[in-house]
Amino acid sequence: MLGYSIIGDIAELDNVEAFSFAIAVGDNAVRERIYKELTANTENLHFPAIVHSSAVVSYFCDIKDGAVVMPKAVIGPNSKVGKFCLINTQASIEHDCVMFDYSSLAPGNAKVECKNTTVKIIYFIYLPLFSLIFSRAPSLLNLSDEIRI
């Protein structure tokens, strides 16, 4: 596909040496399942974080292996992006926020902004288009320091 060979079966990974892989699946639960299936019987697979060149990423954030940051996304300082997270096109995570493993932000105007505390995006969350979350906004939502949607 597009000039690249496709590995047809997980068993074929035993014959692959010194490659990095990306799991290009938008569904959070499916992305986790694929990762676990790939690594259950195969060692030494490398899943680097992939960050588009137009993304604005703070030098002071932490992005774990397998995460994908799409074009024009923004990740602020002291934010943490877990393993295999997906931050879609033009999504924004402001300072001091945490995305747990396998969570994702939708493309467009999905934005997480922190005010005086840390927002945690919990496991398997998907924030749809035009979502705004503010950690201290009692007039909009009754939120604790940890948001569960």
Question: Sign of the CA dihedral 32, 34, 111, 99?
Answer: positive
Provide mean pLDDT across the span 57-71.
95
Q: Which pLDDT score is estimated for 136?
A: 44
Band the pLDDT of 62: cuts 50, 70, 90.
very high
Reply yes or no on whether the pLDDT at 106 is more than 90: no
Distances (CA, A) of 13 to 50, 81, 100, 120: 21, 27, 28, 35
Predicted pLDDT of residue 110: 57
Which structure tokens are listed for 46? Answer: 């490398």
Domain spans of the chain, in order of start = 50-134
pLDDT digits (tens, 9 = 90+) for 23-38: 988 888 899 999 998 8
CATH code assigned to 50-134 = 2.160.10.10
Residue 50 pairs with which residues in a beta bridge? 68
